[in-house]
Amino acid sequence: MAKTSAEESIKAAIRDVKDFPKPGIIFKDITPLLVDSHLLQETVSLMAATFKGKNISKVLGIESRGFIFGTLVARELNAGFVPVRKKGKLPYKTVSATYDLEYGQDTLQMHEDALKRGEKVIIVDDLLATGGTCAAVRKMAAEMGAEIAGAVFAIELEFLKGRQKLQDLPVHSLIKY
């Protein structure tokens, strides 16, 4: 019961912004959720819950809203945090993953020494849409030898079927549309 009402309050705090960043997109704005200390804490503890006690050593947060939830989830799990950034932003040697967008391609990077072989990690972002971003991060982390235990999102746009792109990866999300 308590869990349901927390999720309802979180959902009520997410703001739809029409036609941002381009016509036809309904952007899920999480900033009204972030300014509410209680809802922010609630969101982070629900996101972390599934992976508590599972020996997760690092959280991979995807630029940029995945940094916000990712560091807080990492704190909750006593794990480290790895920023997954857009190309050209990280200062040291990097590994890259390129993936297809609706129009064109994008590249994400991690520092080449960010993960150790065999360590258990999770991927965190604010929102799962088509799953392309998360799939690219998963592939990059797997190539570095990490064991990817799952992915967690505050929001999932179910109609875009992102889970299909992530196949057998355990995927968790709090709020579904």
Residues forming the active site: 65, 102
Residue count (the chain): 177
Sign for the CA dihedral angle at 65, 68, 73, 75 comes to: positive
Gyration radius of the chain over CA positions: 16
CB of 118 to ligand AMP, least distance (A): 27
List all residues 6 or more positions away from 45 whose beta carbon is below 8 Å from its beta carbon. 76
Amino acid at 55: N
The overall longest dimension of the chain from CA atoms, in Å, is: 48
Which amino acid belongs to residue 13? A
Min dist. Cβ of residue 2 to ligand AMP (A): 27
Sign of CA dihedral 84, 90, 94, 99: positive
Q: Is 70 in the site for ligand AMP (CB under 6 A)?
A: no
- Of positions 10, 43, 51, 65, contacts ligand AMP by CB under 6 A: 65
Binder to ligand AMP among 44, 162, 174, 175 (CB under 6 A)? 162
Tell me: does residue 28 bind ligand AMP (CB under 6 A).
yes
**Chosen residue from 56, 82, 128, 174 binding ligand AMP by CB under 6 A:** 128
CB count within 10 Å of CB 78 equals 9
Q: Contacting ligand AMP (CB under 6 A), which of 39, 74, 77, 129?
A: 129
Tokens linked to 72: 């807080």
Kindly identify the residues of this chain, within the stretch 132-161, that bind ligand AMP according to CB under 6 A: 132-133
Which part of the chain contacts ligand AMP (CB under 6 A), choosing from 44-52, 81-89, 120-128, 141-149? 120-128
For ligand AMP (CB under 6 A), the number of binding residues is 16
Q: How far is the CB of 1 from ligand AMP (least distance, A)?
A: 29
One-letter amino acid at 66 equals: G
- Tell whether residue 40 is a contact of ligand AMP (CB under 6 A): no
Where do contacts with ligand AMP occur on this chain (CB under 6 A)?
25-28, 62, 65, 125-133, 162
